[in-house]
Amino acid sequence: QTGARVQRLPLARFTTLGVGGEAEVWFVATHEQLAEAMSAPYRILGGGSNLVIADEGVPERVIRLSGPLAERDLTPDPDLSEGDALVTGWVGGGVPLPGLVRALQKLGLGNLEGTVGIPAQVGGAVWMNAGTRYGEMFDGLHTLEIATPDGLQVLSPDDLRWGYRNSGIPRGHIVTRVRLKLQRSTPEEVLAKMTLADTARKGQPKMKTPGCAFKNPGGVGAGRLIDEAGLKGTRVGGALIAPEHANFIVNLGGATAGDVHALLDLIRQRVGVPLELEYELWP
């Protein structure tokens, strides 16, 4: 018994869409607890901002990083920081990205400005190299600590084949902590860059959503195609194709995963070109 807190809970409360049935949730605060949690089939849940989870939940253990694995140490490492380049202490994979980005802005530290407004956890954002056209997670990474079924690995970004929205980290390997590589600047300058990235989000709905539904096929906006198919504002149960932006499905309250799937199916039937899903479906 290594002491991970284990509880059966509805997963809806851990997601930005607010949908998903129950599972056994393992709150792990240490590497030992994590190793125990990983000894049976598991899934790792971050900020739940890219997930549509079934109404029946999932049969596997669901791991959530907590305690020290959700804390951040932004103290500059004196051995690795030089001039304007700064390397931080460890930042847990369970740290919410929005709060981290705000803290970096106040400290006048740049490199992650482009990730403003992404409601992820650090680990989930690193795992898929989340970002915008103004910058992505790998712009600000110095070291990654990853838990694998064979033990812990400490890597540099150069050790991974990372690229567009992809870290190269295999599914099921868990980003436990990272050290950030930042650029000393001023709070004003960092804020100016963030405002640029934030302004690009103006048209996005403010309601519960797991982000964009589909990838843009061949340079055409998926939102435009859905809009042209006349589907903006279509509702099934508690789920709605957002009137503000057709590539967002929102939860009006009481939506089920079934409602969301029905809308996704309808979009696929009505839009003339094949569309690839942006979110992940659990299971």
Interface residue list for ligand FAD (CB under 6 A): 16, 43-51, 93, 118-121, 123-125, 127-128, 130-132, 165, 174-175, 209-211, 280
In the complex, least distance from residue 266 CB atom to ligand FAD, rounded to whole angstroms: 21
72 classed as catalytic: no
In the complex, least distance from residue 173 CB atom to ligand FAD, rounded to whole angstroms: 6
In the complex, least distance from residue 81 CB atom to ligand FAD, rounded to whole angstroms: 25
3-state DSSP call for residue 5? Answer: strand
| 44 vs 226, beta carbon nearer ligand FAD | 44
278 classed as catalytic: yes
Spatial separation of the C-alpha atoms in residues 29 and 51, rounded to whole Å: 23
Between strands 51-53 and 280-282, the pairing is parallel
CA–CA–CA angle 108, 130, 74 (5° rounding): 35
| 81 vs 132, beta carbon nearer ligand FAD | 132
| 146 vs 182, beta carbon nearer ligand FAD | 146
Spatial separation of the C-alpha atoms in residues 281 and 262, rounded to whole Å: 13
| 30 vs 81, beta carbon nearer ligand FAD | 30
Complete edge-to-edge strand list for the sheet that includes strand 235-236: 235-236, 239-241, 249-251
Spatial separation of the C-alpha atoms in residues 167 and 139, rounded to whole Å: 12
In the complex, least distance from residue 41 CB atom to ligand FAD, rounded to whole angstroms: 13
Spatial separation of the C-alpha atoms in residues 66 and 48, rounded to whole Å: 15
Of 165, 201, 224, 235, catalytic:
165
In the complex, least distance from residue 269 CB atom to ligand FAD, rounded to whole angstroms: 25
C-alpha closest to that of 201 among 260, 244, 138, 249: 244
171 classed as catalytic: no
Q: What is the DSSP string of 25-91?
A: EEEE-SHHHHHHHTTSSEEE-SS-SSEEE-TT--SSEEEEE-GGGG-B-----TTT-BTTEEEEEEE
| 46 vs 110, beta carbon nearer ligand FAD | 46
C-alpha closest to that of 149 among 261, 42, 265, 267: 42
Side-chain-side CA neighbours of 114 within 13 Å: the count stands at 15
The residues that are catalytic are 165, 212, 278
